């Protein structure tokens, strides 16, 4: 009865606090929507997303024109036509009007096969991410390789055509690679969208922010004396902790439902890719419950560590960002250096992320996520025990 | 009702005890006023008596029960009204009372009756549906008190229940407390407002720096032999020869033109006046004993209560 009273009280309080409702529901929904739309710069699938570059052709030869054609054929790299001077173009790239300037020097075509070729220059803007830099450089190298071969083999091409044995197929190299993703939808191989890859990470990140409203409410209850009053009424630390835990797990699970619904139904309205939930509702429920338990228990630990709402806000923000950074939420784990990869095994967000990716990308079931759910539950139990100890310690002060 | 023996308590990390070897008895049905300045240990003592803090040394029995071993049983028939507005501002008066009633495990069938009773006692009938955050300071104090009445306590601890409210609300709350006490509830009332204690309490304890300095009824405290102090202001400062003559009076202290005797019976007063007359020293003002608690407190601690 006491537990029900505590849960009902939390809900009444929440329903009368528009700010908290916004923070708990509207913000995560908006967060998932914005992140889904922002993260879908999938070069392979979205023609609308592109990297812009200026091109200065100082050579204007047949070879340089062939290179320009090669570059123009690459999807998602958009040349911005401009008659501005090179200095002006460099300045524009510095200010992120485009990401790159490519300069084809004078005599590029003439010197290409000689001992001292004139290299093409690629200049990148200061805000170009390393991955985009490498991608553009690789594409440029590919186009240059193709142009070089075309130029090198041109006499042979003419000879073969004259002898009637057919021409050279310079695009044959492209046929030597067949790529596919192991991601499957309805038994068919498909490339996962970046929404599918990024939503689980941001979902998890948002779930751990439950610590903000919970810890500030708890601090207020302590400061207002309601906590002392309830203790004087014979309510033990355990009942108070469990009451808070259950109330906020329900809230946290509603957040999950809302955020997944946004991923599935709302993101496509805005032109994004729809989130596919996988085929294991039980596994998804277990993971959602385990992450909720871990995040709310962690929130209770923060609430019992701090003395003021300001401290709670600060500690929640900093530790969540750290857990996210270590846990592969912001940068995928495989891109991290070995030390950081080893560290990421200790972040609860990494456990949650692996579990969600098992369901969303690897199409795993209940057995596949048991270990992650176990780790998260263990973390939650640890946080709860520590919270109880801190609560009793604080009571003696 | 309450028996405290040699109670000491120290907060972790503190250099001295917040409560020091305190012994006290509060009789059943009494309205006991615990008087002391801020930081004197009143709230700490109340926190110990309500089971929120565990004492390091000493024994406490409440209604025959050992507080350390049977805190839950004691909590069932006692209630604390804390100094803070210890309720939920965003909940209405009714919702707050319903929640705390349920937290006290008042059976659902009884809860409505208890709620009505607490609301009537504290005069909150017209404010049932109002959110607590929209109540005036005085009404908030009443709600704070109403929550404390939900378990129909036999023992009620009130920690500074009239701080920061207007005289009208204070009068209402004091009257409510008087009625609650008259109905048989033992009340322990902490405050630093002496006039409240003087008008309300039948027994008084004066606490300072964790020590119980005095205990008794108001008249006992004011008429106690310890409070038979004499202060005389002379119109002129005595000369060295006159001072030598005055030293014949036991316990006399001379401070320029003011004479103090801490303990002085009627015969000694007469003797001192005779000596002054013999030395031709004129009396400007004479005070014997204490007119109120403020003076008694000053005498006991050497400082004002609101210091």
Contact between A397 and B86 using a beta-carbon 8 Å cutoff: no
Residue A61 and residue A103 in one domain: yes
Residue A30 and residue A106 in one domain: no
Q: Mean pLDDT check: name the lowest of A129-133, A283-287, A361-365, B244-248.
A: A361-365
Each residue of B281-302: b (16+ CB within 10 Å) or e? Answer: beeeeeeeebeebebbbebbbe
The answer to whether A130 and A91 are in contact (CB under 8 A) is no
The answer to whether B227 and B296 are in contact (CB under 8 A) is yes
Dihedral sign (CA A346, A330, A122, A67): positive
Say which CATH number the domain at A95 has. 3.40.1710.10
pLDDT value of position B156: 93
Can you tell me the ipTM of this complex? 0.77
Residue A263 and residue A378 in one domain: yes
SS3 of chain B: CEEEEEEEECCCCCCCCCEEEEEEEECCCCEEEEECCCCCCHHHHHHHHCCCCCCCEEEEEECCEECCCCHHHHHHHEEEECCCCCCCCCCEHHHHHHHHHHHCCCCHHHHHHHHHHHHHHCCCHHHCCCEHHHCCHHHHHHHHHHHHCCCCCCEEEEECCCCCCCHHHHHHHHHHHHHHHHCCCEEEEEECCHHHHHHHCCEEEEEECCEEEEEECHHHHHHCHHHCCEEEEECCCCCHHHHHHHCCCCCEEEECCEEEECCCCHHHHHHHHHHHHHCCCCEEEEEECCCCHHHHHHHHHCCCCCC
Residue ranges making up the domain that contains A320 = 2-40+193-395
Residue A80 and residue A129 in one domain: yes
**Length of chain B as a residue count:** 307
**For A137-153, how does the pLDDT look when each residue is reduced to its tens digit (9 = 90+)?**
998 998 898 888 888 88
Query: How many angstroms away from the CA of A206 is the closest CA of chain B?
Result: 26
Contact between B88 and A225 using a beta-carbon 8 Å cutoff: no
In chain B, CATH 3.30.70 covers: 229-288
Of A1, A4, A12, which has the smallest distance from its Cβ to B95's Cβ?
A12
Q: What residue in B sits closest to A220 (Cα-Cα)?
A: B88
pLDDT > 70 in chain A, percent: 88
Q: Which CATH number is B229-288 given?
A: 3.30.70
**For A302-345, how does the pLDDT look when each residue is reduced to its tens digit (9 = 90+)?**
999 998 888 988 998 898 888 888 888 777 766 677 888 788 88
Q: What residue in A sits closest to B148 (Cα-Cα)?
A: A229
Q: Average model confidence (pLDDT) for chain A?
A: 83
Q: Look up the CATH architecture of domain B2-223.
A: 3-Layer(aba) Sandwich (3.40)
Model confidence at A101: pLDDT above 90 = yes
pTM, two decimal places: 0.72
Contacts of B73 in chain A (CB under 8 A): none
B44 touches chain A (CB under 8 A): no
Query: How many angstroms away from the CA of B16 is the closest CA of chain A?
Result: 14
The answer to whether B191 and B198 are in contact (CB under 8 A) is no
pLDDT value of position A271: 79
Q: What band does A376 get if pLDDT is binned at 50, 70 and 90?
A: very high
The answer to whether A130 and A124 are in contact (CB under 8 A) is no
Please give the average per-residue pLDDT across A232-254, as a whole number. Answer: 89
Q: What band does A162 get if pLDDT is binned at 50, 70 and 90?
A: low
Contact between B52 and A8 using a beta-carbon 8 Å cutoff: no
Of A2, A224, A228, which has the smallest distance from its Cβ to B52's Cβ?
A228
Look at residue A372 and tell me if it is in a domain.
Answer: yes
Q: Which two tokens stand for residue A32?
A: 């998932």
**For A2-16, how does the pLDDT look when each residue is reduced to its tens digit (9 = 90+)?**
888 898 998 888 888
In chain B, CATH 3.40.50.300 covers: 2-223
Residue A70 and residue A208 in one domain: no
Residue A32 and residue A59 in one domain: no
Per-residue pLDDT 10s for chain B (307 aa) are: 889 888 888 887 788 888 888 888 889 999 999 888 778 888 889 989 888 888 878 888 998 888 888 888 888 889 999 988 999 999 999 999 999 999 888 888 888 999 999 999 999 999 999 999 999 888 999 999 999 999 899 999 998 888 888 888 888 889 999 999 999 999 998 887 878 888 888 888 888 888 888 888 877 777 764 557 788 888 888 888 888 888 878 888 888 888 888 777 778 888 888 888 888 888 888 887 766 677 777 777 766 555 4
Residue A15 and residue A60 in one domain: no
Residue A113 and residue A222 in one domain: no
Look at residue A163 and tell me if it is in a domain.
Answer: no
Size of interface A-B (CB pairs under 8 A): 80
Is A198 buried (19+), middle (13-18) or exposed (0-12) by CB count in 10 A?
buried
Look at residue A351 and tell me if it is in a domain.
Answer: yes
Contacts of B11 in chain A (CB under 8 A): 396-397
The count of domains in chain A is: 2
pLDDT value of position A378: 96
Q: Which two tokens stand for residue A279?
A: 């085929």
**For A165-187, how does the pLDDT look when each residue is reduced to its tens digit (9 = 90+)?**
666 676 666 677 776 666 666 66
Of B72, B86, B95, which has the smallest distance from its Cβ to A229's Cβ?
B86
Please give the average per-residue pLDDT across A220-227, as a whole number. Answer: 88
Q: Mean pLDDT check: name the lowest of A54-63, A288-297, A335-344, B93-102.
A: A335-344
pLDDT value of position A150: 82
Look at residue A45 and tell me if it is in a domain.
Answer: no
Residue A139 and residue A266 in one domain: no
Look at residue A162 and tell me if it is in a domain.
Answer: no
Q: Mean pLDDT check: name the lowest of A21-25, A36-40, A348-352, A384-388.
A: A36-40
Backbone angles phi, psi at B124, to 5 degrees: -105, 15
Residue A197 and residue A319 in one domain: yes
Model confidence at A47: pLDDT above 60 = no
């Amino acid at each position: 009865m006491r537990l029900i009273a505590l849960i009902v009280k939390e809900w009444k309080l929440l329903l009368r606090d528009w700010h908290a409702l916004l923070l708990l529901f509207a913000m995560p929904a908006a967060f998932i929507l914005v992140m889904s739309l922002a993260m879908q710069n999938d070069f392979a699938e979205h023609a609308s997303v592109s990297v812009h570059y200026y091109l200065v052709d100082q050579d204007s030869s047949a070879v340089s024109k062939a290179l320009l054609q090669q570059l123009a054929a690459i999807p998602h790299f958009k040349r911005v036509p401009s008659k501005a001077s090179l200095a002006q173009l460099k300045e524009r790239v510095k200010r992120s009007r485009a990401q790159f300037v490519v300069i084809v020097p004078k005599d590029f075509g003439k010197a290409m096969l000689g001992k001292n070729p004139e290299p093409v220059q690629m200049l990148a803007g200061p805000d170009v991410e390393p991955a985009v830099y490498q991608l553009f450089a690789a594409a440029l190298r590919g186009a240059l390789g193709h142009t070089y071969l075309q130029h090198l083999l041109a006499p042979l091409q003419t000879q073969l055509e004259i002898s009637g044995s057919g021409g050279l197929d310079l695009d044959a190299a492209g046929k030597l690679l067949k790529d596919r993703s192991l991601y499957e939808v309805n038994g068919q191989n498909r490339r996962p969208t970046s929404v599918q890859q990024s939503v689980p990470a941001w979902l998890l990140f948002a779930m751990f922010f439950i610590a903000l409203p919970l810890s500030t409410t708890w601090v207020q209850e302590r400061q207002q004396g309601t906590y002392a009053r309830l203790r004087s009424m014979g309510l033990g630390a355990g009942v108070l902790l469990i009451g808070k835990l259950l109330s906020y797990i329900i809230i946290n699970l509603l957040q999950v439902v809302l955020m997944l619904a946004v991923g599935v139904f709302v993101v496509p309205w805005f032109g994004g890719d729809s989130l596919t939930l996988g085929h294991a509702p039980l596994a998804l429920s277990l993971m959602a419950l385990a992450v909720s338990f871990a995040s709310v228990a962690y929130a209770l630990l923060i609430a019992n560590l701090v003395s003021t709402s300001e401290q709670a806000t600060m500690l929640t923000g900093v530790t969540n960002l750290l857990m996210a950074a270590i846990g592969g939420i912001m940068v995928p784990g495989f891109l991290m250096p070995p030390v950081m990869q080893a560290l990421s095994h200790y972040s609860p967000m990494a456990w949650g992320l692996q579990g969600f990716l098992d369901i969303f990308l690897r199409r795993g079931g209940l057995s596949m996520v048991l270990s992650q759910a176990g780790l998260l539950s263990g973390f939650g139990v640890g946080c709860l025990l520590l919270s109880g100890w801190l609560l009793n310690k604080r009571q003696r002060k | 009702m309450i028996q405290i023996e040699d109670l000491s308590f120290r907060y972790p990390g503190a250099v001295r005890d917040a409560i020091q070897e305190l012994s006290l008895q509060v009789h059943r049905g009494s309205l006991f006023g615990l008087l002391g300045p801020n930081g004197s240990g009143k709230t700490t003592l109340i926190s110990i008596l309500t089971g929120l803090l565990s004492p390091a040394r000493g024994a406490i029995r409440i209604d025959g029960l050992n507080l350390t071993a049977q805190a839950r049983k004691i909590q069932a028939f006692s209630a604390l009204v804390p100094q803070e507005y210890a309720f939920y501002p965003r909940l209405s008066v009714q919702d707050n009372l319903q929640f705390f009633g349920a937290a006290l495990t008042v059976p659902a069938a009884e809860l409505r009756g208890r709620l009505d009773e607490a609301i009537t006692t504290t005069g909150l009938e017209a404010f049932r549906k109002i959110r607590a955050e929209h109540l005036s300071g005085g009404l908030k104090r009443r709600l704070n008190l109403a929550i404390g009445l939900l378990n129909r306590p036999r023992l009620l601890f009130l920690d500074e229940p009239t701080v920061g409210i207007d005289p009208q609300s204070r009068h209402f709350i004091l009257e409510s407390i008087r009625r609650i006490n008259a109905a048989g509830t033992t009340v322990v009332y902490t405050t630093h407002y002496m006039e409240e204690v003087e008008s309300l309490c039948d027994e008084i304890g004066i606490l300072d720096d964790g020590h119980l300095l005095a205990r008794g009824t108001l008249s006992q405290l004011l008429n106690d032999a310890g409070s038979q102090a004499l202060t005389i202001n002379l119109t002129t400062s005595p000369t060295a020869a006159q001072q030598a003559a005055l030293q014949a009076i036991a316990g006399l202290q001379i401070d320029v033109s003011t004479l103090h005797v801490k303990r002085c019976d009627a015969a000694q007063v007469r003797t001192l006046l005779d000596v002054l007359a013999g030395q031709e020293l004129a009396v400007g003002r004479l005070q014997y004993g204490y007119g109120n608690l403020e003076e008694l407190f000053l005498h006991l601690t050497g400082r004002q209560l609101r210091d």
